[in-house]
Amino acid sequence: MLVIVCPGQGSQSPGFLNPWLELPGFRDRLSWLSAVAGLDLVTHGTTSDADTIKDTAVAQPLIVASGLLSLLALFEHPADGFRRVGAGAGHSVGEITAAAAAGVMSAEQAMVLVKERGRAMAQASAVRPTGMSAVLGGDPDEVGAVLERHGLTPANINGAGQTVAAGTMEQLAALSSDPPAKARVIPLQVAGAFHTEHMAPAVQTLAGYARAISTHDPRVPLVSNADGQVVHDSREVLRRLVAQVSNPVRWDLCMETLASMGVTGLIEIPPAGTLTGLAKRGLPGVETLALKTPDDLEAAHRMVREHGAPRTAMDPTWRLVISPAKGIVSFDHSGEGAVVEPGSVVAQVSTLRDRFEVTANHGGRVIEWLVEDGDPVSPGQPLLRLHPQGV
């Protein structure tokens, strides 16, 4: 199974788009997205210096635009990707890239949303000097205790021995002076304490924009930063995108979900490298590729052929209800022919920690249950087949 992952802020570097602009049409498309975002992304991706592209209001649109355009080089037509990709995920702002790539929103809608996200988060960051530092290694419990002692938030729990601490610059300086045992602290090139309470002012602003976006349900399973759940309802995708701004990123749980789904190949789109590094440690045995330049496209196309499972178009007269998480499914059996109302909870999936409701967002008439009560299920696994009412 092939998955596409989309990096977040801090992955950009000066000039990373220079080789991509040599591809036919790339500059024109980037200029178009620049017009949508109201930023010169061509300049920022080629000649702007590190301090300029560190600015949240610049970095976030640049990262999303570069990711979306690189996918057009990987898949000549979006439908090719929908047929081959088993799942998608994005880290932090990369979730917007992943959502647009999955068909939840258009590229233009994604650029408007990320422009306002970057602007709102930059304004929130300007209230007080804040930042983020990666904590590499150390005992996880001790790392958590040290962060709490310094008043810091574990904003990104990335797995593979990496936690990102966020807070004020004074708190981060104290962490550097007093780190957890056997851990390294590395300051990150970001301009704020993202995914913490410091970003709360941006949430309300983004919620208003999100309500105005017309959406479509994802064409491929999307794995959420919030808890590693597979999300298949477009409005829920947007709700989570907004809430995630001030809540921690659980990339460790995303990798757990991808492993349970049976991933065999992982491609990280530009600006690539960070998530591939985490996957090499957190997903042993999975072939990974950081798509950094067009020179990597030949290897990427090979991986698509070898790991991408061809999928035929789904019959439009029925819909699947899928599991949001790994666990044990339970339900009150609704027999064949029973009518399920839109938004009804049809089952629950229980794990050792949580209990997730399974909702039939569109409703319909029960054709068949694809699992038995008490069965173990995986994230994204089909549970129930429904025939839409009126079709």
For 264, the 3-state DSSP assignment is coil
- Comparing CA positions, the residue from 273, 301, 195, 286 lying closest to residue 241 is 195
**Rounded-to-integer distance, Cα 156 and Cα 138, Å:** 15
Query: For residues 252 and 240, what is the distance between their CA atoms, to the nearest angstrom?
Result: 17
Give the whole-angstrom CA distance, residue 325 versus residue 335. Answer: 24
Among residues 160, 378, 155, which one has the least CA distance to residue 288?
160
Residue 279's nearest CA partner among 257, 302, 296, 298 is 257
| Identified catalytic residue from 11, 70, 92, 234 | 92
Quick check: 255 and 266 in contact, CB under 8 A?
A: no
Contact yes or no for 1/266 (Cβ under 8 A): no
**Residue in the structure block whose two tokens are 């602009």:** 21
Q: What sign has the CA pseudo-torsion 325, 165, 286, 2? A: positive
Catalytic residue chosen out of the listed positions 44, 91, 150, 195: 195
Query: How far is the CA of 247 from the CAs of 69, 282, 316, in angstroms?
Result: 28, 22, 37
In eight-state DSSP terms, residue 310 is P
- Residue with the two structure tokens 């036919």: 24
Measured CA to CA, the distance from residue 237 to residue 215 in angstroms comes to: 10
H or E element that contains 343 = none
- Number of other residues whose CB lies within 10 A of the CB of residue 344: 15
Residue 292 structure tokens: 């950094």
Rounded CA separation 26/336 (Å): 51
Spatial separation of the C-alpha atoms in residues 71 and 92, rounded to whole Å: 18
Q: 178: how many CB neighbours lie within 10 A of its CB?
A: 11
Q: CB burial class (10 A; 0-12, 13-18, 19+) of residue 72?
A: middle
Q: Judge whether 195 counts as a catalytic residue.
A: yes
Residue 70 annotated among the catalytic residues of the structure? no
Are 222 and 236 in contact, with CB atoms under 8 Å apart? no
In sequence order, what are the beta bridge partners of 232? none
Which residues form the catalytic set?
A: 92, 195
